[in-house]
Structure 1
Amino acid sequence: MAATVKICGLMMPQTIRSIAQLPIDHIGFIFAKSRRQVTPEQVGEMIRTYRGERPDGTPLMFGVFVNPSFEQLEMTLAEAPLDVVQLHGEETPEFCRKVKETLGVKVYKVFSVTEETGSSPREQLEIYLGSIDGILLDTAGGGTGKTFDWERIPDYLPVTREAGIPLIVAGGLHADNVAELLSRYRPDGVDISSGVETDGVKDVSKITTFVERVKACV
């Protein structure tokens, strides 16, 4: 089965109209401080635009947050009907569980992959199992446009496979390296933002090529 593909950091309804018919599985909107930050009202409009083009309920809509308050998530979801809350900060398992159970959304937790020694990947992940619906591995700092050491992926995969949750890889991906990632390490999905941009703006041609490369890897 082909990996899932997530296009993150969308900001404009016209981009959504241009990519609506591509086999994209996940769309990400950034609510954290970023040059790609959008408001709940903007995202609500973009989701309605996408649903008008794709009434089948796909792709899943992700909201990207860093250490949000529960109240911020409540207010955001009142304007933007997200399917998934993606948490990039120091959110605890208890917070993740509260979001998941109270707000009725899926929760994905992001783990930064570093060279530092410390707790093992299994120890990192196990305390979150049951509180989250998926994990995302990213380069430390996020949004750097750089890859992490992919040799670390096999340290995480057995835990997610046993738990039955997807593992998505982000960080420095583009059309020319994603096939290597997928063929060698077999994550469940990939997440891209800057790798499908030209001069900081989402490039429909690059998005199309990236999606085609991902879906060609089975």
Structure 2
Amino acid sequence: MKFKGIIFDLDGTLVNSLEDISDAMNTVLQGLNYPTHTYETYQYFIGSGLRNLVSKALPAANNNEEQIQICFDCMVNEYRKACTLKTKPYDGILELLNNPALGNIKMAVFSNKADELTKKIVSEIFPGHFDDAIGLSTEALKKPNPFEAVEISKKWNLKPEEILFVGDSDIDMQTAINANMFPVGVTWGYRTEEELKNSGAKLVVNRASELIEIL
């Protein structure tokens, strides 16, 4: 199969955003005199959207829908101000995106991060590199729901099986499978190679340059 498109996850795949996300949430928790968390702990909170991360970060005694919504709104406000402060592309990503071999390959970003923030980060860190950048607009469309991925394939006029779906989490691998795309896991993000393989990754790569070899 000749692949003609790539859909990338954002956090843990293209960029290391762990510190910016963690700092924003910890600022909210500190303001409420709640316990904060380490970067290592936040590594396992990331992947299912910021609202889910807020729920995981809150103390069990204060984890009700009203408090989650209040803290979510505060967290997004904090994160919006500093979402590219410490966030950087992973090693080899810019070289990958600038490789001439990708010249005729369609590329998109599909994230469970809020759509506004996804577009902001992609436009600021990767200007001009992606045909589409889609974030979360409604909880019902959150990965592993494949709807947005399939819509991208339709827009590109490509079959889903002609598209690589590249991510660092079990959720990304499940999304790829649900969309009938080719799931590729990356080990530099927030999950292990074993987790990725157990979640359905057909290939797991350790360096961004390996994606060129797949293509």
How would you bin the TM-score normalised by the shorter chain? 0.3 to 0.5
TM-score of the two chains, using structure 1 as the length reference: 0.32
Structure (1/2) with the larger strand percentage: 1
Which of structures 1 and 2 has the larger relative contact order (alpha carbons within 8 angstroms, sep 6+)? 2
Structure (1/2) with the larger helix percentage: 2
